[in-house]
Amino acid sequence: MTDEAHAQLRLVEASARHAEVVGVYLADMKAGADGPEPTHFREAFRRKGPSNYAHGKQAEL
């Protein structure tokens, strides 16, 4: 979706969900074969980053 007004509306809606989300922000994306893909390494890292699997002490449990 490329409509800036729609993106801002979705941001306001998400920001109001205090019990579900923290630190809502808009991120630049590009169209990919399987849906939106991040254009910045920070979002790519968060999508695939270390918080998505058990590591360290959590892996031993």
How far apart, in whole angstroms, are the C-alpha atoms of residue 54 and residue 59? 5
Write down the pLDDT at residue 10: 92
Nearest to 44 by CA among 36, 33, 55, 34: 36
Q: What is the mean pLDDT of each run of 10 residues along the chain (61 residues)?
A: 83 94 90 90 77 66 65
Indicate if the alpha-carbon torsion angle 41, 46, 52, 55 is positive or negative: positive
Write down the pLDDT at residue 58: 64
CA end-to-end span of the chain: 41
Domain locations in the chain? Answer: 25-61
How far apart, in whole angstroms, are the C-alpha atoms of residue 10 and residue 6? 6
